[in-house]
Amino acid sequence: MTENVSLGMPQLPAPPYPQDVRARLEEDAREIIARYPGSRSALLPMLHLVQSEEGHVTRTGMQFCADMLGLTTAEVTAVATFYTMYRRRPSGEYQVGVCTNTLCAVMGGDAIFEELKAHLGVGNNETTEDGRITLEHIECNAACDYAPVVMVNWEFFDNQTPESAKKMVDDLRAGRTVEPTRGAPLCTFKETARILAGFPDERPGAVEATGGAGPASLVGLRLAKGEAPNHRIVHPRGEVAGQEGE
């Protein structure tokens, strides 16, 4: 990370948001602050909020948070740089995160990540030239029973293979609708950040998309109920690509 640290001249104050943008964000910020007994608790959701405006946490966004919460920009920067979900520079519309923590890595996450790097021509934390996809490897995302897992804008793509992952990124770049195995049809990274700021997803059908529990979540229950004695059918591994997005 050190190569990204600027050691040059002190920077001029961050340019402010245009007035209409600021007015809109102030209204959202006040709603966030009202959720908490102490206003500073609003900082994490507000960083998600400014990320939903510009796609990453800019100096303007951090200045805005500092102004609204009565903090210094140093205090805001200290927090913004601590958490991995806040981006520090412009990135793609879709964040494709391949889990390479031990279990997913062993089950094929390493292979998926390598193939995606080659397929997209980008390295870790880099964005394709068309601005569509930022590729990164991520840590355990609490879906080990669906390994290997890929997250796109923090929706679950379970039981992936190199082929299914490559098809998925091709579809994203071609502008086709892509649906996760668990979660709602993908929205942009900015729209995702707004949900993370605590504003519910208003799209019809988003909450119920992909139904109740995923198949792996149900294996124990089905077994206890005497259903599906042949568990081999529960996991058609690698057939995720078979669900046609068109």
Partner 1 sequence: MTLAAELDNARPEKLLAPVLSAFWDQPDSWTLETYERHEGYQGLKKALAMSPDDLIAYVKESGLRGRGGAGFPTGMKWQFIPQGDGKPHYLVVNADESEPGTCKDIPLLFANPHSLIEGIVIACYAIRSQHAFIYLRGEVVPVLRRLHEAVREAYAAGYLGRNILGSGLDVELTVHAGAGAYICGEETALLDSLEGRRGQPRLRPPFPAVAGLYACPTVVNNVESIASVPAILQRGKEWFTSLGTEKSPGFTLYSLSGHVASPGQYEAPLGITLRQLLDMSGGMRPGHRLKFWTPGGSSTPMFTDEHLDVPLDYEGVGAAGSMLGTKALQCFDETTCVVRAVTRWTEFYAHESCGKCTPCREGTYWLVQLLRDIEAGRGVMADLDKLNDIADNINGKSFCALGDGAASPIFSSLKYFRDEYEQHITGKGCPFDPAKSTAWADNHKEVTA
Smallest separation, CB 80 to partner 1 (Å): 9
Nearer to partner 1, 25 or 184 (CB): 184
Smallest separation, CB 233 to partner 1 (Å): 10
Nearer to partner 1, 44 or 120 (CB): 44
Smallest separation, CB 77 to partner 1 (Å): 11
Nearer to partner 1, 123 or 225 (CB): 225
Taking CA atoms, 158 is separated from 28, 41, 109, 228, 239, in Å, by 34, 33, 11, 21, 10
Nearer to partner 1, 63 or 153 (CB): 153
Q: CA angle at residue 235 from 230 to 241, to 5 degrees?
A: 145
Smallest separation, CB 217 to partner 1 (Å): 4
As given in the structure block, the two tokens for residue 166 are 């490559």
